[in-house]
């Protein structure tokens, strides 16, 4: 057929995708009921594990960045970054949560301000505003990017350093050994392909709802299934063209253009709104985030047990983890030549800093506008539950509202396009495992079209409930990815210890390690001098003062 791919991974993934869509159309209620129960069980019984796990990912990444392995360069000592910092940041951000910021930048702060997550906080109060901003930063800041950064670092190391295929199974080589090339490895890779397809399909569906809301606000176009299917078709065509052009000519240019437009929208809201209030608020909200980071990182709603965390935080983590192979592999692909320390701090710090500024400007502006008078934001987001319309209701309070809303629709379209074409590139790479070139263009085009077909078919056949059902499916699929992330940490440390033995910490023999410290100090260092009468370390010829002679170890 002229394809260059792994036959089993490619055709099994494609077949399961078609089978799922067919069953979802034919038996929507049954599929919804089954996955609703499974996702409900996961959210209720394993929510605490998600909270603890994502915090563990963050702590692990900070530790490894600051560790003795931080200076290890991905791709070898002589490797240098292929993309400059600005292009690198634009691509990793556009492929990560750029779409989510457009969708939730106004909606989440307003929602938590009107209905605080904690019952002891008065709605629409100053405390509720601070809590709303803290939760928004928590959901889209360091923790979300930790979910992306961990698999990205694992991919980057095993692909660029050990020259393994660009597949999820490769990051488990220190644990599975040669079995990564067998049936077990293919099961892992097929799961990664399905998780990426379903996650992108849900995001395309949600983006379509937001685009449709924006067009309805601007031109009075009705919000209906035919319009949404048409919008998905347009986004899919643009994504297909972009992915056919390749990483440099397509995705890079779209990402750079999009981040520039997003910064322009951010600047417009900042300058035409309550500028002084926002300038003060950005600084203050940074302090709020830093002060609440540790409590929120371990908060499990233990006493109240309202179920709020399962609907918000745990669902975010479960959904984000299904994206992690896609975003992680894409970031790894564009990050060859960077050190581990540069990679981790860049992936965690740069997008988080932008997220804090974005949510501060849009979230605080929305809360301030709603405090001054009822503008319909709370009504749209909280009462009606129309989250997709929040941004456009918000922009009605600014000059040139029609023009700015039109630009916002274009930004959303490009954000979702870059997510779709990046996902197509990654899915094809997952199937082929090729480090340099994923395969013929038609393979990437196939996956770009498949993503659009999955989202479009679900909207056309079942409407919004179909997307809700798919969201529950990826919540269930998120659990194995979450467990794999723990294995990634173990695998990465094992590989670093094996590949860089000179960076291991010196270890005393086990028999000496079991002795009290006073006895250990009296024991001779292997290969070194025997303690006893005679000159001390300071009397050793040629030894600096206070330095003890050591042996071979």
Average pLDDT over residues 241-252: 66
Q: What is the pLDDT of residues 196-227, one digit of tens each?
A: 887 777 777 777 888 888 888 788 888 888 88
Residue 244: its pLDDT value, please?
75
Average pLDDT over residues 172-188: 92
Q: What is the pLDDT of residues 413-428, one digit of tens each?
A: 887 777 777 778 788 8
Residue 250 reports pLDDT greater than 60: no
Average pLDDT over residues 160-167: 90
Q: What is the mean pLDDT of the chain?
A: 82
Residue 553: its pLDDT value, please?
37
Residue 533 reports pLDDT greater than 50: no
Backbone angles phi, psi at 445, to 5 degrees: -60, -40
- b/e map of 512-527 (b: 16 or more CB within 10 Å)? eeeeeeeeeeeeebee
Average pLDDT over residues 454-458: 79
The stretches of 334-463 forming alpha helices (DSSP H) are 340-372, 377-378, 390-395, 401-432, 441-462
Residue 7 to residue 367: CA distance in whole angstroms: 53
Backbone angles phi, psi at 69, to 5 degrees: -90, 0
Band of the pLDDT at 445, cuts 50, 70, 90? confident
Q: What are the Cα distances from residue 516, in Å, to 145, 280, 513, 553?
A: 43, 55, 8, 21
CA count, 13 A, side-chain hemisphere, 1:
11
Percent of the chain whose predicted confidence (pLDDT) is above 90: 38
Residue 194 to residue 199: CA distance in whole angstroms: 8
Band of the pLDDT at 544, cuts 50, 70, 90? very low
Average pLDDT over residues 283-303: 94
Closest CA to 400 of 254, 223, 209, 264: 264
Q: Residues, the chain, total?
A: 553
Band of the pLDDT at 438, cuts 50, 70, 90? low
Q: Which of 395-404, 438-447, 531-540 has the lowest mean pLDDT?
A: 531-540
Residue 527 reports pLDDT greater than 50: no
Handedness of CA 248, 250, 255, 258 (dihedral sign): positive
Residue 93: its pLDDT value, please?
67
The position carrying tokens 């480090």 is 435
Residue 365 to residue 183: CA distance in whole angstroms: 53
Most confident range, picked from 54-68, 157-171, 324-338: 54-68
Question: Which position has the higher pLDDT, 321 or 489?
Answer: 489
Average pLDDT over residues 119-145: 94
Question: Which position has the higher pLDDT, 90 or 138?
Answer: 138
H/E run at residue 120: none
Residue 21 to residue 195: CA distance in whole angstroms: 14
Band of the pLDDT at 535, cuts 50, 70, 90? very low
pTM of the full predicted structure? Answer: 0.84
Residue 125: its pLDDT value, please?
94
CB–CB of 134/308 below 8 Å?
A: no
- The DSSP output letter for 117 is S
Band of the pLDDT at 531, cuts 50, 70, 90? very low
Residue 526: its pLDDT value, please?
46
Q: Which of 165-169, 242-246, 392-396, 541-545 has the lowest mean pLDDT?
A: 541-545
Average pLDDT over residues 378-398: 86
Question: Which position has the higher pLDDT, 96 or 399?
Answer: 399
Strands (E), 95-209: none
Average pLDDT over residues 341-367: 93
Domain boundaries, the chain: 7-498
Task: Enter the tokens of residue 141.
Answer: 């800041």
What CATH number is given for 7-498 in this structure?
Answer: 1.20.1740
Residue 492 reports pLDDT greater than 90: yes
Q: What is the pLDDT of residues 271-283, one digit of tens each?
A: 999 999 999 999 9
Residue 396 to residue 387: CA distance in whole angstroms: 16
H/E run at residue 245: helix 225-245
């Amino acid at each position: 057929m002229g394809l260059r791919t792994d036959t089993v991974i490619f055709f099994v993934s494609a077949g399961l995708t078609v089978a799922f869509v067919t069953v979802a159309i034919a038996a929507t209620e049954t599929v919804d009921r089954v996955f609703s129960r499974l996702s409900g069980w996961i959210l209720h019984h394993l929510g605490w594990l998600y909270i603890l796990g994502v915090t563990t990912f963050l702590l692990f990444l900070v530790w490894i960045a600051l560790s003795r392995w931080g200076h290890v360069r991905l791709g070898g000592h002589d490797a240098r970054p292929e993309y400059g910092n600005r292009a690198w940041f634009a691509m990793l951000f556009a492929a990560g949560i750029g779409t989510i910021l457009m969708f939730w930048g106004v909606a989440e702060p307003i929602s938590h301000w009107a209905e605080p997550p904690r019952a002891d906080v008065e709605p629409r109060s100053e405390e509720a505003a601070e809590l709303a901003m803290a939760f928004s930063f928590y959901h889209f800041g360091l923790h979300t990017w930790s979910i992306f950064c961990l698999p990205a670092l694992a991919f980057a190391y095993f692909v660029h350093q050990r020259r393994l295929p660009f597949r999820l199974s490769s990051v488990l080589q220190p644990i599975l050994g040669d079995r990564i090339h067998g049936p077990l490895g293919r099961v892992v890779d097929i799961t990664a392909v399905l998780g990426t397809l379903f996650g992108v399909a849900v995001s395309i569906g949600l983006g379509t709802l937001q685009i449709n809301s924006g067009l309805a606000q601007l031109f009075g176009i009705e919000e209906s299934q035919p319009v949404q299917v048409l919008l998905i078709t347009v986004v899919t065509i643009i994504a297909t063209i972009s992915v056919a052009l390749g990483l440099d000519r397509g995705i890079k240019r779209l990402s750079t253009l999009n981040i520039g437009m997003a910064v322009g929208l951010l600047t417009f809201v900042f300058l035409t709104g309550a500028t002084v209030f926002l300038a003060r608020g950005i600084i203050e909200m940074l302090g709020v985030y830093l002060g609440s980071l540790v409590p929120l990182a371990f908060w499990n709603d233990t006493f109240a047990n309202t179920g709020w965390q399962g609907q918000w935080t745990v669902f975010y983590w479960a959904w984000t983890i299904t994206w992690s192979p896609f975003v992680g592999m894409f970031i790894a692909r564009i990050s060859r030549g960077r050190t581990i320390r540069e990679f981790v701090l860049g992936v965690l710090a740069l997008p988080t800093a932008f997220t804090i500024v974005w949510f501060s400007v849009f979230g605080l502006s929305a809360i301030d506008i709603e405090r001054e008078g009822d503008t319909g934001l709370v009504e749209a987001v909280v009462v009606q539950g129309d989250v997709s319309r929040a941004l456009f209701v918000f922009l009605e309070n600014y000059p040139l509202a029609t023009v700015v809303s039109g630009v916002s629709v274009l930004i959303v379209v490009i954000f979702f396009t870059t997510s779709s074409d990046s996902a197509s590139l990654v899915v094809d790479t997952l199937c082929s495992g090729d480090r340099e070139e994923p395969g013929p263009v038609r393979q990437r085009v196939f996956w770009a079209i498949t993503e659009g077909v999955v989202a479009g078919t679900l909207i056309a056949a079942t409407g919004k409930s179909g997307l809700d059902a798919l969201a529950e499916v990826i919540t269930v699929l998120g659990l194995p990815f979450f467990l794999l992330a723990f294995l990634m940490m173990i695998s990465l440390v094992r590989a670093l210890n094996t590949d860089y033995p000179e960076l291991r910490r010196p270890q005393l023999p086990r028999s000496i390690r079991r002795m009290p410290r006073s006895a250990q100090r009296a024991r001779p260092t292997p290969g070194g001098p025997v303690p006893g009468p005679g000159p001390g370390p300071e009397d050793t010829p040629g030894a600096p003062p206070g330095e003890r002679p050591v042996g071979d170890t």
